[in-house]
Structures are given as C-alpha cells and as structure tokens.
Amino acid sequence: MIITCEKCRTKYRIADDLMGKPELKVRCHKCGHRFIVHRAAQAEDSFLLQDEVHPDYSRVIAVSNQKGGVAKSTTCLNLGAALAKMGKRVLLVDFDVQANLTILLGFRKAKSFYDVLTGGVKDIGGAVVKTKYANLSLLPSSSKMALLKKKYLSQHNFEYLLRDRLRTIQDSYDHVLIDTPPSIEFFTLNALVAANLVVIPSTCEYLSMHGVSQIHDIIGVLKKGINREVECKVLITMYDGKNTSEKVICDKLRQTYRDNLFRTMIEKDDKMQESHIVNAPISHYDAKSRAAIQYMQLAQEIAG
Ligand SMILES: Nc1ncnc2c1ncn2[C@@H]1O[C@H](COP(=O)(O)OP(=O)(O)OP(=O)(O)O)[C@@H](O)[C@H]1O
Ligand SMILES: [Mg+2]
C-alpha cells in the first residue's frame, strides 16, 4: 500500500503485513512528521517511491526485566549512545534507585525525577543534563528517588507520573530510553506505561528466560487496557556461543519469541567492563570492539 506524508507529501510504500491493525502510527523519514495511517487509505501506485516506512514504535523505549544483572543499564547506555552516534537526539532516563546509568555516565549528586515531583526544579526539562557525547542527554537518578515509591505508590494513577511529564519534552528527542530496576513496582510500572517499545534483555540462562516470560505476561495485561500501543522485543545479552547450555536456551528463546526477538545478539565482551571503568559508552571506548559493533547493529535495527 502507498501512503503520503500529511506534511511534506513524500510517498512511501508500506508493507501489507504491517497493516494488520485498523490503524498504524508512522513517522515520515524526510520531515519527521508523525501521523496515523488507516487501513482503508487509498492505494496509489503511480508515484515515485522514496523509501519504506517503519512503525513509530521506537520513540519511548523501556529497557526492562525483573531479573537482575541481565544488562539493562548497559543496554540503555550503549543503545542510547549508538543511536546518538547515528545522529538521533536521545534522552536517557535513569529510573532505578541504584543510579547505575547515572554513574556509568560519570554524574554524581545530580537532580532527578525526585526533584521534578517535589518542586526542586521547575519542570522535567530542568533536571535533564547534557552528557559530554553529542546528541545524548540524561535525566539522572539519585538515592532520594527511593522516597518516591513510599510517597506515591498508594496514590491514584501513580503509574502515569513519568508518561505525563515526558510528553511535555519528548518532541525534543527522537528516542527516549528508560532504565528500570530489577523488580516490577513503582518505577518499572511507570516506565512500561510511558513506553511504545519494551526491550527485554535476557541472558541465555534458565532463570533469565523465566524472567522474560513474566514481564511478557505483564506487558500482555497492559496492552489490554492501560497501554494498548506498547510492543515488546527480547534482546539476548552477554551471549557465550561456546557454552552448550547457552546455545540450547538461545534456541528456545528463538522458537518462543520468533519475530519478537531482535536479530542482533549482544555477546560477552571483556571490553564492556573496561568501558564501565572509564565511564564511557563502549562505542566511544572502543568502536571496533564486538560489543560496540553489535550495539550499533541493534540501533540500526530499531531506528531503521
Ligand atoms: N556484553 C557484555 N559483556 C560482558 N559483560 C557485560 C556485558 N553487558 C553487561 N555486562 C556486565 O554485566 C553486569 C551487569 O550489567 P548491568 O548492570 O547492565 O545489568 P542490569 O540488568 O542493569 O543489572 P540490575 O538488575 O542490577 O540493574 C555488569 O558488570 C556489566 O559490566
Ligand atoms: Mg541496572
């Protein structure tokens, strides 16, 4: 089917299998305009075609899995840095009290979402800091964030706190990536409600695979009401192809999640620890390392 951007009139071909739903949100590659395509749109075939169009599902990305240590923070940092290297404007949101993402970027004692909710800054933009990397900004976390859970968890509609505030600034960014803690509670629920896409990192370990199915089920529930638009995709992380049990679990994940599994896999790479020690994304620490190349491939898979 051929569609036309409402704003700049660029024509695109849209794959028929993408039009399974009555309508689809898309973004024009040329002018960046976001609009909705209806299945019943007029088919036209006599135009010069520019490009294929992709669903606009990659704008707010939560990186989540309640299993600990599966590379959520590492993925947030390195996927964000890879997208920024591609020229995309990226905001990283550290939504974990551990503040690992904030620490990995070398920030300490910065304003956080706690200050956004308690009036320590004028608005959410007031807490965002620019990192030393082009196109990459950060909404840091701090230990004070722990107080938010107690204060807001019992309040009606607490799960919309992040989504509503992000909406006031997200047009300034091509992608917003949210790092979440290893549990499903205040912070993770806020991230899942704000997201268009949930990236679920998983190592090829038995318990990690179970963590994936648990978060997958929770997203299924959100899709039925609170966040109908959200999609999710599993990302295999820290893969060691020499390990037989990892190979078996990798195959199992492929069979189970098929199209909902990223083609790109992130392999185990010692350079990752080294990049953490110098507080740098892997693409800036060693752009030729295996992990840097794989995170760049992941960014291309997501951003088209
Ligand atoms: N591709 C990789 N190769 C080698 N080590 C990695 C790789 N990715 C992540 N790691 C290491 O794995 C550990 C866990 O990573 P990370 O902190 O990102 O996980 P997490 O899921 O965010 O953990 P938590 O659940 O505690 O938030 C870190 O020490 C990190 O350096
Ligand atoms: Mg983490």
Q: Which pLDDT belongs to residue 24?
A: 78
Nearest-atom index, ligand 1, CA of 267: 1
Ligand that lies nearest to the alpha carbon of residue 101, given by its number in the listed order: 2
* Cα dihedral across residues 28, 29, 30, 31: positive or negative: positive
Atom of ligand 1 nearest to the CA of 67: 25
The fold of 60-303 is Rossmann fold (3.40.50)
Ligand nearest to the CA of 64: 1
CA distance 66 to 140: 20
Which of 74, 198, 204 to mutate to test ligand 1, by most ligand atoms within 8 A of the CB atom?
Answer: 74
Digits of tens for pLDDT over the chain (304 positions)? 777 888 877 777 776 666 666 777 777 777 778 888 876 654 443 333 344 444 455 689 999 999 999 999 999 999 999 999 999 999 999 999 999 999 999 998 899 999 999 999 999 999 999 999 999 999 999 999 999 988 998 888 899 999 999 999 988 999 999 999 999 999 999 999 999 999 999 999 999 988 999 999 999 999 998 998 899 999 999 999 999 999 999 999 999 999 999 999 999 999 999 999 999 999 999 999 999 999 999 999 998 7
Question: Residues 299, 81, 205, 223: is their CA dihedral positive or negative?
Answer: negative
Q: From the alpha carbon of 68, which atom of ligand 1 is closest?
A: 25
pLDDT the model gives residue 46: 32
Cα(181) to centroid(ligand 2), Å: 6
Distance of CA 126 to the CA centre of its chain: 22
Q: Whose CA is nearest to atom 23 of ligand 1?
A: 69
Give residues (CB < 6 A) around ligand 1.
Answer: 68-74, 96, 98, 100, 182, 237-238, 266, 268-269, 272-273, 276, 291
Element containing residue 282 per DSSP (H, E): helix 282-285
Alpha-helical regions (H) of 66-205: 72-85, 100-104, 113-118, 146-152, 161-166, 186-194
Written as one string, the DSSP assignment of 15-68 is -GGGGGSSEEEEE-TTT--EEEEETTPPP--SS---EE--BS--SEEEE--SST
How far apart, in whole angstroms, are the C-alpha atoms of residue 193 and residue 201? Answer: 18
Q: Which ligand is nearest to the CA of 201?
A: 1
Q: List residues bridging with 179 in a β-sheet.
A: 63, 94
Residue ranges, comma separated, of all CATH 3.40.50.300 domains in the chain are 60-303
DSSP 174: S
Nearest to 40 by CA among 67, 65, 3, 77: 3
Q: What is the pLDDT of residue 17?
A: 61
115 CA → ligand 1 middle, Å: 28
